[in-house]
Amino acid sequence: MDFSQRVFCGEVKTDDAGRDILLAGWVDAYRDHGGLLFIHLRDRSGIIQIVFSPDVAGENFCRQAAALRAEFCIAVQGEVRRRLSGTENPNIETGEIEIFVKKLNVLGESDPLPFAISDKAMVAGSASAGEDNVAEDLRLQYRYLDIRRPVMQNNLLLRHRIFLTVREFLSSRGFVEVETPCLTMSTPEGARDYLVPSRVHEQKFYALPQSPQLFKQLLMIGGMERYFQLARCFRDEDLRPNRQPEFTQLDIEASFIDEEFLYDLIEDLTCRMFSIGGITLKRPFARMTYREAMDTTGSDRPDLRFGLRFVEVTDLFSQTKYAIFRQILQRGGCIKGINIKGQSEKLSKNVLQNEYAKEIAPSFGAKGMTWMRAEEGRLESNIVQFFSEAELNGLKKRFNVEDGDVLIMVADPSYQIVVSALGQLRLHLANRLGLISAGSFYPVWVTEFPLFEATDEGGVTSSHHPFTAPDRVDFDPKNVEDLLQLRSRAYDLVVNGEELGGGSIRINNRDLQRKIFAALGLTEEETKEKFGFFLRAFDFGAPPHGGLALGMDRTVSMILQTSSIREVIAFPKNRSAACPLTGAPSSVKREQLAELGLLNPGGENTLPGDAHQENLLDRISWVSRIGATAEERKTLEQALVQADKLAILARENAGLDDPLCTVTPVANRMREGAKEKRSIFAEKGQLLKSAPAVKGSYFKVNAVLE
Ligand code: ASP
């Protein structure tokens, strides 16, 4: 079959009427009209109706066509005809024409499908299959079928277009795409590493990169100046709904730049990417410091599509007689609230008291929630009588209260609890009251993060990663209080409450980098062991540099407004980080583990590389790649003792000092007086004649004999 003449289904036009064309694709749906058979033929470009009529196709092809079923892969040759008036199908782009088939070739038959693929109705006016409710694991198990669905194909095509835009735009701005290794050393991004054992270097491991952070900085030191990469990253994190253990990051780094350079670059790029999904973003993007974001939305990923910002009211109650507030303030606490403008009709006393104050707020960690409704110029609630006129007037003024408004307040000795509970209430209310308009996008840069977070052990850990520049350098690495005051030159890009990415201006001074490691509690030795190679690079003129990374699965998913990031990844893992298609992760053969030096010789929780090296029995198990159960070990130990005795005896009898045999670490020794000489059988090529597998002058042996 000559496919060079093939025409794409979606590209046939009414003007083609009268032409003979060749089409190839899959049977999307079929309808048998007794004598006439109609088929929707689908390829990547779209769907077209093909008709088998005995007058045109002949008996033979019609008989063959009657056996066609959904998802058979076929090629047909036929004539393009305009449909009869009244039989056009507006559900498909090519609904005004159809192909009268003259020849049919079945290229691949299909089993009955595990789920429906077609989503286009064949008859004008009838309902299409629409969104089906196939279990996601089944879709992932048959992902190649799922990908045949036009909506999935469209997702992958648009993802491709977005990636193309990224590449074109960044190249035009002088950025060079450079690949960095996947088999590498651990990169600290706060997650666990995926480890890859090395067969060649027994008991040594590579780590898959959590990000190309160290390499991109080294590229800057290497003078590449502007780098980007659509990089695959791997993070072994606890399962979360919109996370994947491997994901794609747009990784960027540039030298001799500052924050403003990056904001400008990324805003431009983000607008271009979103426009592929038909979304226009307004520039410049909003900016908010971390402090402001926490103070007014309770989140470092503020959703700014709606108001409901927090208002600080602690000071209004400094003299309060209301016992609950008074006690909280005496303990150094704070009070914040939200004015839910004009919503008192939707938020009745009952809803506020019995749902929000009693159930919802406590489920978000608040010990309670105070509410008030504004009616006829007054604030009403079950507790207003406990507040002074001055306090109530203060509230009215601070919140800009008008009739129909609802105030909610959370008070707690802990600032964290107040902002976190109020932040969750804010989102809950926005959803409940329908305050988030669909299709609106609100990007914001969040800046000035704390450089460190406190650990439970009384130390600090990096909020981003340890290469982020602090806002000042005069800190004492041992003074935790001081360290927690430091701000970083980091920034996150947040859209609609989701973090699309983030980065920072980096440290480019060796001593400062050392000081940060010291603050993190790393000793000189540890620093050297983990980052010695990296720090060494700073000895050779490191330029000022900075960058960021955007999570591309998330970004594409947001642009295409899909229900999860898995919809924009060809072969994602499911929610339990497994792949229903391939069965990964799967167990491996013991032989494979042995080859990698990972067999557990003692059958206990020891890994090769530690205790077994000292223990003779473990050593033998290890050398021979045989695991022994606790029961077997006893017998083997007795046998060893016995063997040892025999060996000593034999040695004494023979008058030798050296042991006769050894299973302890092996070394090559030549017999004294022996000379290297090639056997004549080797010369004649007979030596390895009956060996099972030969390579050069060597033959392969089982791992056990290595
Ligand atoms: N490496 C960082 C990350 O993966 C991004 C950056 O700092 O450029 O989050």
**Same domain? 263 vs 166:** yes
Task: With a cut of 70, say whether residue 681 has pLDDT above it.
Answer: yes
Query: Per-residue pLDDT tens for 289-338?
Result: 999 999 999 999 999 999 999 999 999 999 999 999 999 999 999 999 99
Q: Given phi > 0 = left and psi -120 to 50 = alpha, else beta, which region is 518?
A: alpha
Burial class, 599, CB count within 10 angstroms (exposed 0-12 / middle 13-18 / buried 19+): buried
- Starting at the edge strand found earlier in the chain, the sheet holding 176-177 runs 176-177, 226-234, 246-255, 545-551, 498-505, 490-495, 443-447, 286-289
Structure tokens at 641: 């003792």
Q: Please count the helices (runs of H) and the strands (runs of E) in the chain.
A: 20, 24
Q: How many of the other CB atoms lie within 10 Å of CB of 608?
A: 21
CB atoms within 10 A of CB 291: 14
Full residue range of the structural domain in which residue 15 is found: 3-108
Averaged over 684-696, what is the pLDDT?
76
Contacts of 177 (CB under 8 A, 6+ apart): 167, 170, 171, 227, 228, 229, 230
Distance 489 CA to ligand 1 centre (A): 13
The model's pLDDT over 177-227, given as tens digits with 9 standing for 90+, comes to: 999 999 998 877 889 999 999 999 988 999 999 999 999 999 999 999 999
Please, how many CA atoms are within 13 Å of residue 64, restricted to the half-sphere of its CB? 17
197 lies in a domain? yes
User: Which CA distances in Å does 379 have to 376, 398, 399?
Assistant: 8, 13, 12
Of the three residues 68, 92, 108, the one that is the final residue of a domain is 108
175, 186, 189, 261: residue to mutate for ligand 1 pocket, most atoms within 8 A of CB: 189
Q: What is the pLDDT of residues 656-667, one digit of tens each?
A: 665 555 555 555
**What is the reported pLDDT for 455?**
94
162 and 284 fall within a common domain: yes
152 plus 245 within the same structural domain = yes
Backbone φ and ψ for 296, nearest 5 degrees, come out as -110, -15
Q: What is the pTM of this model?
A: 0.83
SS3 letters across 313-324: CHHHHCCCCCHH
298 occurs within a structural domain: no
Among 120-124, 187-191, 503-507, 658-662, the least confident range: 658-662
Q: How confident is the model at residue 605 (pLDDT cuts 50, 70, 90)?
A: very low
pLDDT at 33: 87
- Between residues 470 and 58, which one has the greater pLDDT? 470
Distance CA(278)–CA(282), nearest Å, equals 13
With a 6 A CB cut-off, is 213 part of the ligand 1 pocket?
Answer: yes
pLDDT at 189: 85
547 lines ligand 1 (CB under 6 A): yes
Do residues 412 and 333 touch, judged by C-beta distance below 8 A? yes
pLDDT tens readout for residues 246-303: 999 999 999 999 999 999 999 999 999 999 999 999 999 999 999 999 999 999 999 9
CATH of the domain at 443: 3.30.930.10
DSSP string over 279-340: -PPPSSPEEEEHHHHHHHHSSSS---SS----EE-GGGGTT---HHHHHHHHTT-EEEEEEE
**Closest-CA residue to 310 (of 289, 335, 287, 344):** 335
**pLDDT at res. 260:** 98
Regarding the beta carbon of 229 and ligand 1, being less than 6 Å apart is answered no
> Is residue 133 a contact partner of residue 86, using CB atoms and an 8 Å limit?
no
Protein residue with its CA nearest to atom 1 in ligand 1 = 213
Per-residue pLDDT tens digits for 427-449: 999 999 999 998 999 999 999 99
What mean pLDDT is predicted for residues 544-573?
A: 97
How far is residue 598's CA from residue 614's CA, in Å, rounded to a whole number? 17
The DSSP-derived string for 72-89 is: -EEEEEEEEEEPPTT---
Proportion of the chain above pLDDT 70, given as a percent: 92
Q: Specify whether 25 is located in the same domain as 151.
A: no
pLDDT bucket at 609, cuts 50 / 70 / 90 = very low
* CB of 546 sitting under 6 A from ligand 1: no
Structural domain contains residue 697 = no
User: How far is 100 from 80, CA to CA, in rounded Å?
Assistant: 6
Name every residue whose Cβ is closer than 8 Å to that of residue 220 and which is 6 or more positions away in sequence: 227, 253, 254, 255, 542, 543, 545
161, pLDDT greater than 70: yes
Q: What is the mean pLDDT of residues 133-142?
A: 93
Instruction: Give the model's confidence band at 595: pLDDT under 50 very low, under 70 low, under 90 confident, else very high.
Output: confident
Name the residue of 548, 553, 555 to mutate for ligand 1: max ligand atoms within 8 A of Cβ.
548
Assess whether 240 and 150 both reside in one domain: yes
Q: How many domains is the chain partitioned into structurally?
A: 3
pLDDT at 597: 84
Average pLDDT in the chain: 91
265 and 324 in a single domain? The answer is no
504 lines ligand 1 (CB under 6 A): yes
Q: Is residue 528 part of a domain?
A: no
What pLDDT is stored for residue 611 in this prediction?
45
Residue 214 contacts residue 614 (beta carbons within 8 Å)? no
As a whole number of angstroms, the distance between CA 177 and CA 171 comes to 8
pLDDT of residue 691: 79
184/282 same-domain check: yes
Strands 443-447 and 286-289: parallel
Amino acid in the structure at residue 666? V
pLDDT band at 537 (very low <50, low <70, confident <90, very high): very high
- Measure 13 CA to ligand 1 centroid, in angstroms: 48
Which segment of 33-37, 185-189, 600-604 scores lowest on mean pLDDT?
A: 600-604
- DSSP letter string over 515-576? HHHHHTT--HHHHHHHHHHHHHHGGGTPPPEEEEEEEHHHHHHHHHT-SSGGGGSSS---TT
Best residue among 219, 246, 247, 251 to mutate for probing ligand 1, ranked by most atoms within 8 Å of CB: 251
Instruction: Indicate the top mutation candidate among 186, 189, 213, 215 to test ligand 1's pocket, ranked by most ligand atoms within 8 A of CB.
Output: 213
- Domain shared by 140 and 267, yes or no: yes
Is residue 273 a part of any domain in this protein? yes
Range of lowest pLDDT (199-203, 584-588, 613-617): 613-617
Q: What residue owns the CA closest to ligand 1's atom 4?
A: 211
> Based on the domain organization, do 285 and 327 belong to the same domain?
no
pLDDT value for 606: 46
